[in-house]
Amino acid sequence: MLILAAGRPLDRQILRQSFPHVFLPGSAFGGQGIFHKLLSLARLFWAILAAISHVRRCRCIVAFGGFPSVASVLAAKLCGVKVYLHEQNAVPGRANRLLAPLAKKIFMTFEEAAGKFGPRKSRCVLTGCPVRKKILIEREPAGRGRMRMLVVGGSQGSKFFLDFFSGRPDFFAWLMERLDVLFLAGPNLADIPAARRLIDNARDLRGSFTLLPFLERMGPAIRSADIVLSRAGASFLAELASVGKARVVLVPYPRALDDHQTANARAILAHPGALADVQIFEEGKIDKLEEALRAFIVAGPVDPPQTFSDRHAGAACRILEELRDADGP
């Protein structure tokens, strides 16, 4: 098994102790000016050449979207290697929409994505989103103490949550009197001035406030949280559903391409699985967001669901079964 990925700092940090991997040159194409688009096309050419030497020895590839997938899939087709796609979001990404005609099958996290693939809808298979094995073995109930809130902003979306708490000092003080907060701000935002100010403000308050760039063991963090405040990235939603959590407040990142996070949140609301209480708010509705958090906190802790969603837990195995079944000509 070989992973072809972008060379971003987070990718390097995650993969350095993982499977064998190769970082491909490239950059995002969508949302860029003409100069950056031309530069992206040049990098795509070099990425295809770099990928050919690796994919030609593979029996198949599974592409998960993003610019590394485009180079990998085109290299695979040049080498006669079978191509499969996985679409994490309820609205397919542009790379996967572009590559869909080249794929034998398209694996999906949300059934809502199938209709967006047009005539390739018949190739879509609902598998769920693969989650880390650690998530599954760390989903035992946590001991009950003070209430806890887990805040997850992702790589781009933490600034809103930082500004939300910093701009409402009275609410932040009220909140810290009643619960402990673990805030995962992402590697790019964990040390910006807004984050440092929030940490300084929390020092004089009662509760425990911990701000980290990321966390390796997400299972215990999710399981021990009474409230999860998050964006609506597909991978984290799959982890939430796999671990089980009673109260989840989602604020989709509004500048995500094709507004796919809003579609993810609505799909989760329609099929909550092990998430017993899910609420969705737009960034502009911060008063409503505060009201919802206050209501959850005043209501006190609740026991998490006794059952879990195993759709995502078994997603990797289902994808492997599909690959084995399609191994013929």
**pLDDT greater than 90 at residue 262:** yes
What integer pLDDT is reported at residue 273 of this predicted model?
Answer: 66
How many CB atoms sit inside 10 A of residue 21's CB?
16
Rounded to an integer, the average pLDDT of 55-69 is: 90
Residue 214 · residue 186 · CB < 8 Å: yes
Name residues whose C-beta falls within 8 Å of residue 84's C-beta, 6 or more positions apart in sequence. Answer: 60, 61, 62, 63, 103, 104, 105, 106, 107, 319, 322, 323, 326
Instruction: Render pLDDT for 64-121 as a digit per residue (tens, 0 to 9).
Output: 988 889 999 999 999 999 999 999 999 999 999 999 999 999 999 999 999 999 999 9
Q: What is the pLDDT of residue 143?
A: 55
Q: Is the pLDDT of residue 31 over 60?
A: no
**Which amino acid, 86?**
H
> Residues 255-276: what's their mean pLDDT?
84
Q: Considering only 146-155, 174-183, 188-197, 267-276, which range has the smallest mean pLDDT?
A: 267-276
Whole-angstrom distance, CA of residue 198 vs CA of residue 169: 9
Q: In whole angstroms, give the CA distance from residue 73 to residue 83.
A: 7
With CA atoms as reference, report the closest residue to 243 among 304, 182, 158.
Answer: 304
Burial track 131-150 (b if 16+ CB lie within 10 A, e otherwise) = bbeebbebbeebeeeebbbb
Sign of CA pseudo-dihedral 260, 262, 265, 270 = negative
pLDDT above 70 coverage of the chain, percent: 85
CB atoms under 10 Å from CB of 63, counted, come to: 24
**Cα 277 from Cα 32, distance rounded (Å):** 38
pLDDT interval class at 140 (50, 70, 90) = low
Is the model's pLDDT at 311 over the cut of 80?
A: no
pTM: 0.85
Is the model more confident about 191 or about 38? Answer: 191
User: 244: phi > 0 → left, psi -120 to 50 → alpha, else beta; which?
Assistant: left
For the four alpha carbons of 153, 154, 159 and 160, in that order, the dihedral sign comes to: negative
Summarised one tens digit per residue, pLDDT across range 165-178 is 999 999 999 999 99
The backbone torsions φ and ψ at residue 22, rounded to the nearest 5 degrees and listed phi first, read -135, 135
Give the pLDDT score at 230.
Answer: 95
Q: What is the pLDDT of residue 327?
A: 64
Res 30: pLDDT: 55
The structural domains of the chain, ordered by start, are 3-130+314-325 (3.40.50.2000), 134-299 (3.40.50.2000)
